[in-house]
Amino acid sequence: MIELDERIITQAILDRFYEKLKANLDVEVAIVGCGPSGMVAGALLAEAGKRVVLFERKLSVGGGMWGGGMLFNEIVVQESAVPLLQRFGIRYRSYREGYYTADAVEAVASLAKAAVQAGAAIFNAVTVEDVVMRPERIIGLVINWTAVEMAGLHVDPLAIRARFVVDATGHETEVVKVVAKKVPGQLNTPSGQIEGEKSMWSDRAETLTLENTREVFPGLYVAGMAANATFGGPRMGAIFGGMLLSGEKVAQELLRRLLEAADAGA
């Protein structure tokens, strides 16, 4: 047995982290937020062989899924999203016709494992504070340590490039807010601005979440609750199928766009 050397432990962490960070400075898709929609999108894009990076402000991934509803850590999923539970190996039980339940912790852990093992890189404790823009298109993200943000330190951020960005930041829709401020009235929404989330209506919200999962500004897509907040859909209560399906839809859309770009030789 070798004698463990603290310097080598430190060196290993630094080398491996910088290797990971440097490999993700120019990606095909950058996803902001590791809630259910972001992680599903990340996992599916990485499974399809795309270079994907996810940034999560908190130390833990999972967003609002850990707590199920009101901290009761079970999630409810409707029939249409059951194939995604199966795909990611999340065990579930039928509750009654059309309603399924799964353990919230197992769901988060399974999605995170799927994303990372498929090749997506997740950077936790990193906050996206701005976008990189050429006037007509989003081409990257501006990032900083969450600890810097929390401490209110006056520290310049760094930036990465991405062909496409996904705002999966949940109710706060943080990336779209930044863009809306910079180019007022130019979002691809009815008013050109963020429409704002409407009151709870579970059934309608689940359908609208999917319709609202789309490009809101050139290079910028919205998924999950951020899609509803951007396009004015209702919130849906503690049912998570729409979040999973929204992640799947944005991944499919981006695979199509990346293929088109490759065909066009871009």
Ligand X SMILES: Cc1cc2nc3c(=O)[nH]c(=O)nc-3n(C[C@H](O)[C@H](O)[C@H](O)COP(=O)(O)OP(=O)(O)OC[C@H]3O[C@@H](n4cnc5c(N)ncnc54)[C@H](O)[C@@H]3O)c2cc1C
Nearer to ligand X, 50 or 57 (CB): 57
Nearer to ligand X, 235 or 257 (CB): 235
State which H helix or E strand residue 37 sits in. Answer: helix 36-47
- From 131, 162, 243, 258, residue interacting with ligand X (rule: CB under 6 A): 243
Q: One symbol per residue from 76 to 115: x for binding ligand X (CB under 6 A), - otherwise; what is it? A: ----------------------------------------
User: Which residue(s) pair with 102 in the sheet?
Assistant: 75
Least distance from ligand X to the Cβ atom of residue 243, Å = 4
Tokens of 218: 């050139």
Least distance from ligand X to the Cβ atom of residue 229, Å = 9
Residues 6+ apart with CB under 8 A from 195: 189, 229, 230, 231, 232
140 binds ligand X (CB under 6 A): no
Tell me the C-alpha distance between 143 and 161, whole Å: 11
Beta strands in the chain (DSSP E): 26-32, 52-56, 74-78, 93-96, 99-103, 121-124, 126-134, 137-145, 158-167, 215-217, 220-222
Least distance from ligand X to the Cβ atom of residue 190, Å = 21
| Contact yes or no for 240/65 (Cβ under 8 A) | yes
Q: Which bin fits 196, alpha (ψ -120 to 50), beta or left (φ > 0)?
A: left
237 binds ligand X (CB under 6 A): yes
Nearer to ligand X, 26 or 149 (CB): 149
176 binds ligand X (CB under 6 A): no
**Residue 163: phi, psi to the nearest 5?**
-65, -45
Nearer to ligand X, 55 or 221 (CB): 55
- From 28, 174, 206, 253, residue interacting with ligand X (rule: CB under 6 A): 174
Least distance from ligand X to the Cβ atom of residue 128, Å = 4
Nearer to ligand X, 15 or 203 (CB): 203
| Piece of the chain touching ligand X by CB under 6 A; list 22-30, 84-92, 153-161, 162-170 | 162-170
| Contact yes or no for 146/135 (Cβ under 8 A) | no
Q: What is the DSSP letter of 64?
A: G
Least distance from ligand X to the Cβ atom of residue 257, Å = 20
Give the interface with ligand X as residue ranges (CB under 6 A): 32-38, 55-58, 63-65, 127-128, 168-172, 174, 200, 224-226, 235-238, 240, 243
